[in-house]
Amino acid sequence: MINQRIPAIFIGHGSPLNAIEENEFNRTWHHIGQTIPKPKAILSISSHWQTKKTAITGDHHPQTIHDFWGFPQELFAVEYRAPGSLDLVERIKEIIPDVDVDLKWGLDHGTWSVLTPMYPAANIPVVQLSLGQTLDFPAHYALGKALRPLRDEGILILGSGNIVHNLREAVFRDAAFDWAVEYDEMVKQWLLKRDDQMIITLNGHGKSAMLSVNSGEHYMPLLYVLGASEPDEPLEFYCEKVTQGSISMRCLKIG
């Protein structure tokens, strides 16, 4: 029985290649996995699974979904064979009674590209939670709050997205636009102050926020991690870098 609260973690995942490349992001994610208590199971909120209403994966053996194109065959060959968890599914149904259980979806690259370096043995059960398209930012945050007790039950709540994510503006070199750095730093300062409402409410944040958050799905997993944490918990940043002009790789551990 795990009686130690498991941290809540947000990973800026960037390119799927980070799953297999030897780089600062891959190494950092591995370090995080080695330095936190081993969870009983993982609940992953990935930016790459959106459904009309909130859903969870219910398969005993979730498939590895290669939801991208134009990458080396080596990446398509990756299979992350972590088991599912019916116990966690039932527990989430207690917390979110109207959640849909999806037996077809598996682990998309927002989940497995991060977990491959974090937990390469793939021996920790994983369940994915979708981003309900009918929910606004405060509702996503509220769901994270409802899921907070799972951390005291040995469950790692993992948000996977990017604080700044605008592929329309991306450049394929190691660069950072001023507006992307500006918004990434704004969010960092709000996090340090635990001013969650500033992070949830984009109105009035200006051009940098509108360009950085863009379509929103890569930002939403951060709201779950914030909701699942207490304002007085310790906070640690990793990979504080904007790359490809408009992709923030910032990671965050709370607790």
Domains recognised in the chain with CATH numbers: 8-254 (3.40.830.10)
Lowest mean pLDDT of 6-10, 74-78, 201-205, name the range: 201-205
Place 143 in a pLDDT band, splitting at 50, 70 and 90. Answer: very high
pLDDT score of 1: 41
170 versus 7: which is more confidently predicted?
Answer: 7
| pLDDT surpasses 70 at 38 | yes
What is the spatial distance between Cα 97 and Cα 102, in angstroms, rounded to a whole number?
14
| pLDDT surpasses 80 at 3 | no
pLDDT, one tens digit per residue, over 123-142 is: 999 999 999 999 999 999 99
pLDDT, one tens digit per residue, over 40-98 is: 999 999 999 999 999 999 999 999 999 988 898 999 999 999 999 999 999 999 999 99
pLDDT score of 205: 84
Sheet holding 251-254, edge to edge: 100-102, 55-57, 126-132, 41-51, 155-161, 8-12, 251-254, 235-238
pTM for this predicted structure: 0.95
3-state secondary structure of 182: helix
pLDDT, one tens digit per residue, over 152-170 is: 999 999 999 999 999 888 8
pLDDT, one tens digit per residue, over 238-250 is: 999 999 999 999 9
CB 153, CB 40: distance < 8 Å? yes
Query: 90 is written with which tokens?
Result: 């039932």
